[in-house]
Structure 1
């Protein structure tokens, strides 16, 4: 009884603001020092790698693929990006300090390695964003795949008259044995997103602007919400985000990876 009474204020806050919003506020307080250090590292690496690249890779769409020690999966992800029906694209692979495997020889593909491991997906992706020039930016993790028309479907909506600033498609979640788990398809709603973690950047294609950057908080697997949720929900505060209900992403539900958990954590006694 006393435990239920003690939890009452927390339950009220969750209902009012959403558990994800409350968790993120806590993260910003507890993890702020990590973000400051990582921002300095990100700035230094973006400057160093830009100098190495010379002319920044440029196209209609820049696809950013962060990676860390998944050579075979990375090659498959890169191939699914390069095999898009949209060819006006550059693909930048950003290795989180582990070293790059051999990748396909394609003039649209650029690959760089950070000077050290950050274990922070947001920083790795931010470096990729900053190294490229494009109207739109898309994101693909190194253990996921796109259907060949993923970018085509997204751009058809983005480039239409009065199109939104960003879109995200449905995800087909796949178990490690290759069988389908489900298809996640939820219309964009910032209020609903305060209570449910249904936003994932593997399906997200957005117009490049000042809002398009990832949180630099160092999020271990136990830290919720993920940086995907933070980016898309924040982006949607000032820019129109629209959902496309077609499944164009094969999303690996990998126990060893930071796959999106849709369920809220169970309350503690």
Structure 2
């Protein structure tokens, strides 16, 4: 009987993908909190824009969301500022915990939300909305980029017939510094309905109305993650390509504030 009862679910998974089905459930259950968070995001964007004055502008804007990781954040900021692409602004958005001292650099801007949201999508959206650029890139506060990460991405994006967005390979490392593996999967939107291989630390995209994160409050147990939702939704009307070169040093962090890893 149990096998018979599960048959419709298995058919739906095969037809649509388990990640798509889980996301539909998330939207149904978490929509009320998303509406409240959208209002907060709008208010904070207005407040912080007034503090910044003229919006930071460059060819590419790098958004770093952070929460209580001062040392890791400084390392992430240094790796962003060390990019071979100089025409860049870096905006750090703190999720209400307070900002540590950061490097003095005219390309670096840092703001703190009025309260903690525990919602990575809202934090990153504020960073997107406070900046002006042709392209947007994302870096978490516990990860690092190779110096040519943006150079590799922008070369592909600006090439004749180039896509709207690219994502590079991730070199995933454990907390002790040992390499776990390299995640490098060619983009396939259908495959992404069944496998969670998309991560915005490797993602550089042309700015558009579609480039915003889900505002659902995703606890570590909620799957899929906001990275998957953004890239797969962006790919509905934009071309996304994979670059197989590893340019991101990604910490597989069991204690991450935003991400839970299943060890798969």
* TM superposition score category, shorter chain reference: over 0.9
CA distance in 2, matches of 1:199, 1:10: 24
Match of 1:169 in 2: 168
CA distance in 2, matches of 1:246, 1:197: 19
CA distance in 2, matches of 1:4, 1:142: 44
Per-residue Cα deviation, 1:10-66 (whole angstroms, up to 9, x for no partner):
011000000000000000000000100000000000000000000000000000000
SS at match of 2:236: helix
Partner of 1:267: none
The yes-or-no answer on 1:63 pairing with 2:66 is no
1:189 aligned partner: 188
Work out whether 1:4 is the aligned partner of 2:13: no
8 Å CA contact retained: 2:165, 2:205:
yes
What is aligned with 2:52? 53
Q: Deviations over 1:84-137 (max 9, x none)?
A: 000000000000000000000000000000000000000000000000000000
Give the corresponding residue for 1:250. 249
List, as ranges, runs of 4+ consecutive aligned residues in structure 1 with deviation greater than 6 Å: none
Specify the alignment match of 1:241 in structure 2: 240
Indicate conservation of the 8 Å contact 1:137/1:206, yes or no: yes
**Which residue is equivalent to 2:92?**
93
Match of 1:146 in 2: 145
Count, aligned residues = 263
Q: State the TM-score, normalizing by the size of structure 2.
A: 0.98
Unaligned runs of 5+ in 2: none
Asked if the contact 1:197–1:263 (Cα under 8 Å) also holds between the matched residues in 2, the reply is no
Shift of 1:3: 1.3
1:225 counterpart = 2:232: no
Q: 1:259 offset after TM fit, Å? A: 3.9
Q: Please state how far the C-alpha of 1:4 moved relative to its aligned partner.
A: 1.3
Show the counterpart of 1:23. Answer: 22
SS in 2 for 1:16: helix
Contact 2:170/2:247 (<8 A) preserved: yes
Q: Distance in 2 between matches of 1:105 and 1:208?
A: 27
Cα distance in structure 1, aligned partners of 2:261 and 2:99: 29
Q: Are positions 1:43 and 2:25 aligned together? A: no
What secondary structure sits across from 1:94 in the alignment? Answer: strand
Checking the alignment, whether the CA contact within 8 Å between 1:62 and 1:90 is kept in structure 2 is: yes
CA distance in 1, matches of 2:131, 2:168: 23
1:117 & 1:210 partners in 2: Cα distance? 25
| Offset at residue 160 of structure 1 (A) | 0.5
- 1:198-209 correspondence runs (5 A): 198-209=197-208
Cα distance change on mapping 1:240 and 1:262 into 2, 3 Å: farther
Q: Residue 260 of structure 1: CA displacement?
A: 6.6
- SS of residue paired to 1:55: coil
Secondary structure, counterpart of 1:256 in structure 2? coil
